[in-house]
Amino acid sequence: MDFSNFFPMWDRLSQAHKDIIQSSAVKKTVKKGTVLHGGFNDCSGLFLVASGMLRAYILSEEGKEVTLYRLFEMDICLFSASCMIQSIQFEIMIEAEKDSEVLVIPADVYKSLTEASAPLANYTNQIMASRFSEVMWLIEQLMWKSFDKRLAQFLVEETLVEDTDVLRLTHEKIANHLGTAREVVSRMLKYFEGEGLVMVSRGSVKITDLSRLRQLYED
């Protein structure tokens, strides 16, 4: 495994630090739907996504999910090692959105490395800042953007992620991503279908007018 794909400052690390990362990383293969990290009290370690896709989300007391962000191939998941970030006081769940392969670096090992290596510490701070920026963007969307625009944007982004205009998604799954009720999703998809934007069938949504969907959330 070429760790420089995960760490762009790899050449600036000492050989000793490179050896620690390479020797401590454990490969883990997970099936779609597997929960890899179960919240604040679960310090699973740093996840390096070798293949597949993970989803970070929060879960309300009522059981409602809201997707915070996704992790793609060569992404790093810091919040799965939340015990090394003392300022994190909220529950983040991590699940596999697709069959995935991850490399897991124990949290204590990575914490020691960031304390000893300025390049690694700086890069870790960059990742953290980027993730918090994504969460703040999400909060802004939830507060100020109407649901039809949020759903349209989600569907357009899904076509790019999956590289297909037929999305294998249930209404419940879409609701979990967007932090709303399944009934709300069903009503809006029915409206979209009436407008000729999508075709809805059991367990899937076919995008029939991508440009108008994009225009809907960009306007």
pLDDT at 177 > cutoff 80: yes
Amino acid at 127: I
The residue-averaged pLDDT of 198-211 equals 95
- Does residue 9 share a domain with residue 103? yes
Distance of alpha carbon 90 from alpha carbon 117, whole angstroms: 27
pLDDT computed for residue 136 by the predictor: 87
**How many CB atoms lie under 10 A from the CB of residue 21?**
22
Q: What integer best gives the mean pLDDT of the chain?
A: 91
Print the domain residue range for 210: 145-218
pLDDT computed for residue 141 by the predictor: 82
Largest Cα–Cα distance of the chain, in whole Å? 61
- Does residue 120 share a domain with residue 94? yes
Give per-residue burial for 107-132: e unless 16+ CB within 10 Å, then b: bebbbebbeebebbeebbeeeeeebe
Q: Which of 128, 143, 158 is the last residue of a domain?
A: 143
- Does residue 125 share a domain with residue 182? no
CATH code for the domain in which residue 70 is found: 2.60.120.10
- Does residue 123 share a domain with residue 63? yes
pLDDT at 200 > cutoff 90: yes
- Does residue 159 share a domain with residue 135? no
HEC profile of the chain: CCHHHCCCCHHHCCHHHHHHHHHHCEEEEECCCCEEEECCCCCCCEEEEEECCEEEEEECCCCCEEEEEEECCCCEECHHHHHHCCCCCCCCEEEECCCEEEEEECHHHHHHHHHHCHHHHHHHHHHHHHHHHHHHHHHHHHHHCCHHHHHHHHHHHHHHHHCCCEECCCHHHHHHHHCCCHHHHHHHHHHHHHCCCEEEECCEEEECCHHHHHHHHHC
pLDDT computed for residue 87 by the predictor: 60
- Does residue 153 share a domain with residue 134? no
pLDDT computed for residue 89 by the predictor: 60
- Does residue 96 share a domain with residue 66? yes
CATH code for the domain in which residue 166 is found: 1.10.10.10
pLDDT computed for residue 138 by the predictor: 86
- This prediction has a pTM of 0.79
- Of the listed ranges 17-21, 35-39, 181-185, the least confidently predicted one is 35-39
pLDDT computed for residue 40 by the predictor: 60
- Does residue 87 share a domain with residue 36? yes
95 phi and psi, to 5 degrees?
-130, 160
Q: Which of 93, 117, 143 is the last residue of a domain?
A: 143
Residue pLDDT, tens place only, 127-153: 989 988 888 888 888 888 899 999 999
The residue-averaged pLDDT of 153-174 equals 94
Between 44 and 27, the more confident residue is 27
Distance of alpha carbon 176 from alpha carbon 147, whole angstroms: 14
Residue pLDDT, tens place only, 66-98: 888 999 999 999 888 777 766 656 678 999 999
Between 165 and 37, the more confident residue is 165
Please list the residues that pair with 205 across neighbouring strands.
167, 200
- Does residue 139 share a domain with residue 163? no
